[in-house]
Amino acid sequence: MSFSTDRPETWLACSSCGEERLETDAAVRCAGCGGLLTVCHRSPDMEGPMLRALFETRCCTRPDTPASGVWRFREVVMPGSRVTPVSHPEGNTPLLFREAIAKWAGVPDLLMKHEGHNPTGSFKDRGMTVGMTQACRVGARGVICASTGNTSASLAAYAAHARLPAFVLVPEGKVSLGKLAQTVGYGAHVLTVRGDFDACLALVEASRESLGLYLLNSVNPWRIEGQKTIVLEMLQQLGWDPPDWIALPGGNLGNTAAFGKALEEAYAWGLIRRVPRLLVVQAEGAAPFARAFAIGFRERKRVQADTVATAIRIGDPASWDRAVHAIRFTDGAVVSVTDREILEAKRSIDRAGVGCEPASAASVAGLRRLVAFGQVAPNARVVAVLTGHILKDPEVLASGSHAGGMESSVIEPTMEALAAAVELAGELRIIEA
């Protein structure tokens, strides 16, 4: 099918063969060729400056506007919906500057967009509010996903809010305690699979139709629409003056696809006049996309993934084609970093009082590497996206694999013991009364 005349405001199109469908179709893949479906919007009625002004009137600090940093942009996310969004709310995450981290990375003009400040502690909430709203629009009787942990926590929280039963499949022994505890706490059914994330995703994709459940992994095109708002909100915070680079971790590559789509639309609709370059960072043990980038994307790579950054422990990323498109459109780069570099970056981020989970630190580690190689100029303006909260992965701190470990000392409850411990720390500066 193709909407040749009277195009609706929003529709779905297959990113491989172009086949078009109604926006309320519950499928995530094309029935004909199996390609992933993408949400397409007609150009908004307003020009760029008017659209920017509209988003400005909905700034989060005003009491009379939607509190969500996702639904503030609804004209370019899900304009046609009449249902009340399933919103906690989410978004409105800070853009942080810390001199110590900028110095560590080698870029003085480095800001961090901290998506760990979302309600369940990761960027997934931005996609989930839109995906769960779509689940309600299509009358889903339940929802399902495969996850390395953050998607499951987010799905569980939003499904509870929407009063829908939720099922999550997670790889055995490879999900951090913080994420599992959240998912169970929010009331989802957790199924631990004897296999890795790639096996979990293949299983939910194959079964979701026969089970009659709505699939909410980032292969779902509405997840991508929500995650676009990380970029839109960042651009708004920067007065619509884009940075030179945006660095982000890459796993299943849904976020890479979302960032590329956000930038392509923002440019086409006059919200920005220049397109920033995307820097996607993978862990060396889970870097099929970085390997393919190194050979000009001539072939698709798959690997058996392993890394300390369990969130991005993915060997066969689902959003491959749209991520390749995002890198090409933004003249971007893809790089991999070792677990050691990830943990060093995390230490720098944690010690600055910002904190993040290991996968998030990959963005700063990758940036440092490209600065060292001269591929990112030291005077570049860069935003690194921190995708998850420090409390997501307490084991990595406790295990000591975080350079330095927990560094906690046990003392007797006496003033002498306390004084000795403070003396031992030896870091006290004189505080003037």
Q: Which residues contribute to the site for ligand F0G (CB under 6 A)?
A: 122, 124, 147-151, 218, 249-256, 311-312, 357, 359-360, 387-388
> Can you read off the two tokens belonging to residue 27?
């499928």
User: Residue 267 CB, nearest distance to ligand F0G (Å)?
Assistant: 21
User: Residue 164 CB, nearest distance to ligand F0G (Å)?
Assistant: 19
* Nearer of residues 253 and 272 to ligand F0G, judged by Cβ: 253
> Can you read off the two tokens belonging to residue 220?
């779902």
* Nearer of residues 30 and 386 to ligand F0G, judged by Cβ: 386
User: Residue 135 CB, nearest distance to ligand F0G (Å)?
Assistant: 17
Q: Mind spelling out the 3-state secondary structure of 20-77?
A: EEECCCCCCECCCCCCEEEEEECCCCCCHHHHHHHHHHCCCCCCCCCCCCCHHHHHHC
- Find how far residue 219's CA is from the centre of its chain: 13
Which residues share a beta bridge with 166? 143
- Cβ–Cβ contacts within 10 Å for residue 324, how many? 20
* Nearer of residues 39 and 51 to ligand F0G, judged by Cβ: 39
User: Residue 250 CB, nearest distance to ligand F0G (Å)?
Assistant: 5
Task: Please state, in angstroms and as integers, the Cα–Cα distance from residue 417 to each residue in 410, 414, 421, following that order.
Answer: 10, 5, 6
Amino acid at 143: V
* Nearer of residues 265 and 316 to ligand F0G, judged by Cβ: 316
User: Residue 423 CB, nearest distance to ligand F0G (Å)?
Assistant: 39
Closest by CA to 193, choosing from 182, 213, 207, 214, is: 207
Alpha carbon distance 339, 433 (integer Å): 44
* Nearer of residues 20 and 393 to ligand F0G, judged by Cβ: 393
> Can you read off the two tokens belonging to residue 355?
């904190």
Sign (positive or negative) of CA dihedral 192, 223, 343, 198: positive
Enumerate the H helices of 216-373 as residue ranges. Answer: 221-237, 254-268, 288-294, 320-329, 339-351, 358-372
* Nearer of residues 26 and 180 to ligand F0G, judged by Cβ: 180
* Nearer of residues 278 and 359 to ligand F0G, judged by Cβ: 359
User: Residue 147 CB, nearest distance to ligand F0G (Å)?
Assistant: 3
Alpha carbon distance 163, 358 (integer Å): 32
* Nearer of residues 336 and 387 to ligand F0G, judged by Cβ: 387
User: Residue 8 CB, nearest distance to ligand F0G (Å)?
Assistant: 28
Please check whether residue 312 is in contact with residue 283, taking contact to mean a CB–CB distance below 8 angstroms: yes
